[in-house]
């Protein structure tokens, strides 16, 4: 990743922080984009663009363009921004479906569309999305979330087909990520079977690297330690 310029959306979240740190450790320059206000001091290799609503296409384009302008190019976009809801369909609020679509699909769509011109100019452009294994077969209470992540899967495949030969577009499909929030909500689970943010970051950064130039349109399950 040495010398690569990477935009990480959802950069202040549990996974986003680890991906950004791992990319920096591998020699990349990173622009973090998040809805939350920036809490990271700028360095020569990192900037943080906070207060960005990626569900708004104009805000997404402004942030992506600012990142590319700051570093002089953009080589990879890692779409981590998103949301989760656990809600039964019959008793649930229809607005939950709209919210999940906006947070998971629109954020990735708007960021990707904004990044495409810069990624094409890179000559080795990469987009890595975060889908979900739970979207392959939805369980009880997972309807809205799984439907939105299935949308991310189809977005990944369509973008890969449309930009084949110019940009690679792939998605990781994690099972349960080992985060403090997930541990708190599922205290009796076997945490050792979950995928850690670092493990997931390693896969994401591989897909964003030159070594993954032959991989596009892949939906890669990441199920955790064995």
Report residue 221: phi and psi, to 5°. -65, 135
* Catalytic residue selected from 71, 97, 145, 194: 145
Helix, coil or strand: residue 106: helix
Q: What is the rounded distance in angstroms from the CA atom of residue 71 to the CA atom of residue 62?
A: 14
Cβ neighbours for 202, distance < 8 A, ≥ 6 positions apart: 22
Residue 145 annotated to the active site: yes
Q: What is the rounded distance in angstroms from the CA atom of residue 85 to the CA atom of residue 200?
A: 21
Residue 210: count of CB within 10 angstroms of its CB: 11
Among left, alpha and beta (phi > 0; psi -120 to 50; other), residue 165 is left
**Structural contact between residues 42 and 16, judged by C-beta atoms closer than 8 angstroms:** no
Nearest to 73 by CA among 30, 9, 126, 119: 119
Residue 31: count of CB within 10 angstroms of its CB: 24
Cβ neighbours for 178, distance < 8 A, ≥ 6 positions apart: 191, 194, 195, 196, 197, 224
Kindly list the catalytic residues: 145
């Amino acid at each position: 990743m040495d010398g690569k310029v990477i935009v990480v959306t959802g950069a202040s979240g549990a996974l986003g922080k680890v991906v950004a740190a791992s990319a920096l450790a591998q020699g990349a320059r990173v622009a973090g984009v998040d809805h939350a206000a920036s809490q990271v001091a700028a360095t020569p290799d990192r900037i943080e663009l906070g207060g960005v609503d990626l569900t708004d296409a104009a805000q997404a384009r402004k942030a992506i363009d600012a990142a590319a302008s700051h570093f002089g190019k953009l080589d990879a976009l890692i779409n981590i921004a998103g949301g989760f809801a656990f809600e039964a369909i019959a008793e649930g609020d229809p607005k939950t479906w709209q919210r999940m679509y906006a947070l998971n699909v629109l954020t990735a769509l708007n960021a990707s569309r904004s990044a495409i011109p810069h990624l094409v100019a890179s000559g080795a452009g990469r987009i890595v999305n975060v889908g979900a294994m739970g979207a392959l077969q939805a369980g009880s209470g997972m309807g809205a979330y799984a439907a939105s992540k299935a949308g991310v899967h189809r977005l990944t495949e369509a973008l890969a087909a449309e930009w084949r030969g110019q940009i690679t577009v792939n998605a990781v499909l994690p099972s349960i990520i080992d985060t403090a929030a997930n541990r708190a909500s599922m205290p009796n689970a076997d945490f050792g079977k979950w995928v850690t943010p670092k493990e997931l970051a390693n896969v994401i950064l591989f897909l964003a690297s030159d070594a993954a130039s032959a991989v596009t349109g892949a939906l890669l399950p990441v199920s955790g330690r064995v």
